[in-house]
Amino acid sequence: MENTRKKVIIDTDMGWDDILSILYLIRNPTIEIIGITVTGCGEANLRWGTIIAKTLMDLGDQTQAKICVGTSTPLKFNHVFPQSFRDNVNDIMGLLGSLNPETSIDVQTQPAWEFIADTLNKTEESITILSLGGFTNLAKMLELCPSTRIDKITEIYAMAGAVYVDGNIALFNDARPEWNQGPIYKTNYAAEWNVFIDPVAAKKVFKTHIPITLIPLDACNYVILNPDYVDKITATDPIAKLTKDIFKKVTGVDKEAIPVPIFDPLAAVIMAGGIKEYQAQSEYLDVNIADTAINNQCGKTYIVDSGSRKITIVQGVSQNEFAINFSNMINGKAL
């Protein structure tokens, strides 16, 4: 029987929401994860992010998926999460425990961008890319492997940006005293983190002809995390248990003291077809790439009059539909 599963490369900074996304996709019978490319520009430090990626693939018996290491250096700027925040992410808020492999991890020797390029150049099938972090690895592929068959990319689905709503840089900066990193962060009410972390990379990807569906904060803000998600996970296997434990952490002792959307899992569910109807529009988009200490707009995603192609921007979604599909998939009940 022909394999009709959607082939997906996940490009990730391996935050808690990335992990939830990957657990959902491991469970999803319509998805084949062919690779995970890890970026160190984002929530987890690069080595820890790679360890988590390998751990998740082992946990889900996803031996076909290649794990590739990206870079910790953005194309420009040095926008970073506070290290105290990253330290908490690096061991999944204390949940890594016995899942942490003590021996050296088996990953591909190719850099992430070369793996993506080689996969696209060799495949006879179309590839979907799910972008759950900054765009650095994808931008480096475009820059360093210019002959890549990007026409083999069906679409990039990316949790990124804030188009009509406020960003979350200043909000996050002010959430805890130890997360205050100064005026570049404190005055930026426009950008979302996955774009802000490497705005030049985002701008480069936006200017390609690759079809892109953006799941920005405009959509994510409809799906706010709350303790109800814990009770929706009723299965008791290791994948369900890790999912439930993450929900407990991020809605309990490790909550960020600000309303937190579900973020990346919404992009994963939309990419996998788990939400059938949602509000979306298509626009040309660009990215501000200038840092200022006053009213910083760097990383702002904004609409322009022309471009290489329009980007699909998801605007409105059903929190209830998301919650049902996500929990059913984790519980092994989804069709």
Task: Report the amino acid identity of residue 68.
Answer: C
The pLDDT-based confidence of 111 (bands split at 50, 70, 90) is very high
What does the alpha-carbon distance between residue 325 and residue 333 come to, in Å, rounded to a whole number? 9
Per-residue pLDDT of 257-297, as tens digits, reads 567 899 999 999 999 999 999 999 999 999 999 999 999 99
Specify the pLDDT at position 181.
Answer: 97
What are the DSSP calls for 167-236, one per residue?
-SHHHHHTTSGGG---HHHHT--S--HHHHTSHHHHHHHHTSSS-EEE--HHHHTTSB--THHHHH----
The pLDDT-based confidence of 139 (bands split at 50, 70, 90) is very high
Is the pLDDT at 226 greater than 90? The verdict is no
What are the DSSP calls for 225-272, one per residue?
--THHHHH----SHHHHHHHHHHHHHTTTT--SS--B--HHHHHHHHT
Per-residue pLDDT of 169-205, as tens digits, reads 999 999 999 999 999 999 999 999 999 999 999 999 9
What whole-number percentage of the chain has pLDDT above 90?
A: 87
For residue 266, tell me if it sits in a domain.
Answer: yes
Output Rg (C-alpha) for the chain, integer angstroms. Answer: 18
Is the pLDDT at 103 greater than 60? The verdict is no
Is the pLDDT at 101 greater than 60? The verdict is no
Q: What is the pTM of this model?
A: 0.95
Specify the pLDDT at position 241.
Answer: 96
Is the pLDDT at 26 greater than 90? The verdict is yes
Specify the pLDDT at position 1.
Answer: 38
Is 202 exposed, middle or buried, given 0-12, 13-18 or 19+ CB atoms closer than 10 A? Answer: buried
Task: Report the amino acid identity of residue 46.
Answer: L
Residues 6+ apart with CB under 8 A from 146: none
Domain count, the chain: 1
For residue 103, tell me if it sits in a domain.
Answer: yes
What does the alpha-carbon distance between residue 10 and residue 133 come to, in Å, rounded to a whole number? 10
What whole-number percentage of the chain has pLDDT above 70?
A: 94
Specify the pLDDT at position 260.
Answer: 84
Task: Select the more confidently predicted residue: 95 or 267.
Answer: 267
What does the alpha-carbon distance between residue 180 and residue 157 come to, in Å, rounded to a whole number? 31
What does the alpha-carbon distance between residue 332 and residue 160 come to, in Å, rounded to a whole number? 28
Average pLDDT estimate for 95-104: 60
For residue 335, tell me if it sits in a domain.
Answer: no
Average pLDDT estimate for 139-147: 97
**Angle, helices 46-59/16-27, rounded to nearest 10 degrees:** 20
Is 61 exposed, middle or buried, given 0-12, 13-18 or 19+ CB atoms closer than 10 A? Answer: exposed
Contact between 134 and 194 under an 8 Å Cβ cutoff? The reply is yes
Q: Which residue has the tokens 């990253």?
A: 86
- Residue 87: CA count within 13 A, CB half-sphere: 5
Per-residue pLDDT of 286-325, as tens digits, reads 999 999 999 999 999 999 999 999 999 999 999 999 999 9
Specify the pLDDT at position 259.
Answer: 72
Average pLDDT estimate for 113-133: 97
Least confident piece of the model among 51-60, 91-100, 156-165: 91-100
For residue 143, tell me if it sits in a domain.
Answer: yes
Q: Find the CATH number of the domain harbouring 109.
A: 3.90.245.10
Average pLDDT estimate for 57-75: 94
For residue 234, tell me if it sits in a domain.
Answer: yes
The pLDDT-based confidence of 97 (bands split at 50, 70, 90) is low
Domain region containing 238: 6-330
For residue 1, tell me if it sits in a domain.
Answer: no
Average pLDDT estimate for 111-122: 97
Residues 6+ apart with CB under 8 A from 307: 206, 207, 284, 285, 286
Average pLDDT estimate for 37-47: 95
Instruction: State the DSSP code for 301.
Output: E
Is 175 exposed, middle or buried, given 0-12, 13-18 or 19+ CB atoms closer than 10 A? Answer: middle
